[in-house]
Chains A and B, each alone.
Chain A
Amino acid sequence: MATAVSHEALVGGTLGRQPAGRAGFAGTVRSEFTKIRSVRSTYWTLLALVLACVGIGALFSWGQTERLLRIEGGRRFSGGQVPPGFAAHIANEIRSQAASISLFGLLIGQLIIIVLGALAITSEYSTGMIRTSLTVMPRRGTVFAAKGVVFGLVALVTGLVTSFLAFFAGQAILSSQHVSTTLGQPDVLRTVVGGGLFLAACGLLSFGIGAMLRHTAGAIAAGIGLMFVLWILSQFLPGPPSGWFGQADIDKWIPFNAGSAIWENQANGLHPFSPWIGFAVFGAYAAAALVGGLVVFLRRDA
């Protein structure tokens, strides 16, 4: 295709004179929002997040109703309905944890938001886009902040939507055995909002790791290791020798345990941190990753 070079267009066409001020945060935020909404992987990943959290939460809620039905030797009540007042202590236990039960899918959802958080920054490096991004906007602190804010907002909104959808789906299933709860019950709203906050913080933690490692696979592996593997290990490693300090003193600092304090039930005694303190600790981990990512982003050659 031979294209004549038209001088009018080169001269700038409709582009006016250079305005006052300088390229800054607002324009870069708009740019980053365009970036995140203009690639398909964003939508697929967010869809996967919603489906995983709602689906697994629904499955787990159904499992709890079955647990109630099959109490005492696996015998199932005819008609699939427990008699009123039957196994009241079990029913009460489920009811008290109904919000957390419906959010059980967040255990997997965190892994998906980790992928999205890492990709938000590592894809710039894997595609080579970073060279263009920093050439048109060389103020790196501004680019990092805009990227973080845009991803953080997308993660927060999606996290909250996911958490509420999972809650309502789970309660609909639990209500079949009258063990559901409502947003008006004590701590329930905090739990559901907390689920959204937790997902957003997971994403930002991964975003920070991604900025430090600049490598998609490495960042995802590190994020999953930190959130998931560390938590699994903490479940079956022996505690410290008696007389030092308690197992719980270590466990509560594990990122998943600290972060999930805000949406997991407190009844099982696994969370020595209160919900907001635990989340603050987790937020501090995410902040540390973001600061580390910013330092690397500012200093290393792109």
Chain B
Amino acid sequence: MIEAQGLTKRYGDTLAVDNLSFTVEPGRITGFLGPNGAGKTTTMRLILGLDRPTSGTVTVNGKLFSRLAWPMREVGALLDAKAMHGGRSAHNHLLCVAQTNNLPSRRIGEVLELVGLSEVARKRSNGFSLGMGQRLGIAAALLGDPQILMFDEPVNGLDPEGILWIRNLMKALAAEGRTVFVSSHLMSEMENTADHLIVIGRGRLISDCTTAEFIAANSQQSVRVRTPQRDELITLASAAGATVRDDAGGTLVLLGLTAAQVGDLAYENRIRLHELAPAHASLEQAFMELTASSVEFHAGIPAVAAAAPQSVHAGEVG
């Protein structure tokens, strides 16, 4: 359980985290969502005590992180794939990490096996791909068999296979009753993994609810229609309370009516339909609209960008 109360962090003139309060409950995956620069990493650094809050508090299992008796047995964190000395072998990296918490060295072999790095255990990590570095970081986080796991943008830059691996790992960890707190700037990623969502923008809390609630509240249903009797349908649909948008190519998008309602309406008024299709606004779009006012640096975002798949850098995974 992670509890933040009025958490605030200021760097000079920049308010990175602004009066943030939330609770990360055990036994599920909590997605920590926000555009780049929203303060996700800073919040995680505040939880781990790497940064000191300007005001407010954050506790882990009711204690300040630095007061935990055996930190690695309670929290495992992956902040980035590069938080290691590249000149050290994977085995030695895990050894020096394990020794701080008096963990037995045989545990190193177990976690290396788990993340699939046993064969490169004696190789120096500066020769590792991003995906392998990520796995080594996860191995370190799992050393102490912690109840709470924190991952900061774990799939960033990974190839599809690596993404799938991390997604399954997080699900397996949560299924065991562990607390998984994972940040991302991609709604599509969280939609598939997280049970609960904490959404922030510009350091402020925007939304804190289950993923299902978030989807229900933010994905507006619409119906796409093509008809030769365009004007008649517009009049009737408007009268029935729908918002009508004229899309390119002669199709209409009706908001506020179900596909069945539109079909019935057309049938009763003898309007011929050439196409009738229900559609969901993508969650990505909902997320972008929700956080649009809080994006730190605006760029001209073309409408199609939201639907386009995020291109991933294909890092070789070992």
Contact = CB atoms under 8 A, between A and B. Distances in A.
Interface string A30-51: 1110110011110000000000
Contacts of B87: 39-41
A106 to B, nearest CB: 28
A267 interface: no
Interface string A15-37: 10011011100111011101100
Interface residues of A, number: 49
A78 interface: no
A9 interface: yes
Nearest to B165: A3
Interface residues of B, number: 58
Nearest to A6: B114
A6 to B, nearest CB: 6
B100 to A, nearest CB: 4
A1 interface: yes
A23 B79 contact: no
B71 A138 contact: yes
A185 interface: no
B80 A38 contact: no
B48 A135 contact: yes
A235 interface: no
Contacts of B116: 1, 3
A3 B97 contact: no
Interface of B: 45, 48-52, 65-66, 68-73, 75, 77, 79-80, 82-89, 92, 95-97, 99-104, 106-107, 110-111, 113-116, 137, 140, 142, 144-145, 161, 165, 168-169, 172-173, 176, 317-318
24 contacts: A1-B317, A5-B114, A5-B168, A5-B172, A7-B172, A10-B172, A13-B107, A13-B110, A13-B145, A14-B104, A14-B107, A15-B144, A18-B73, A27-B101, A28-B99, A31-B100, A34-B95, A39-B85, A129-B83, A134-B50, A136-B71, A136-B140, A138-B65, A301-B45
List the 3 closest A-B pairs by CB distance, nearest first. Answer: A12-B145, A3-B116, A38-B92
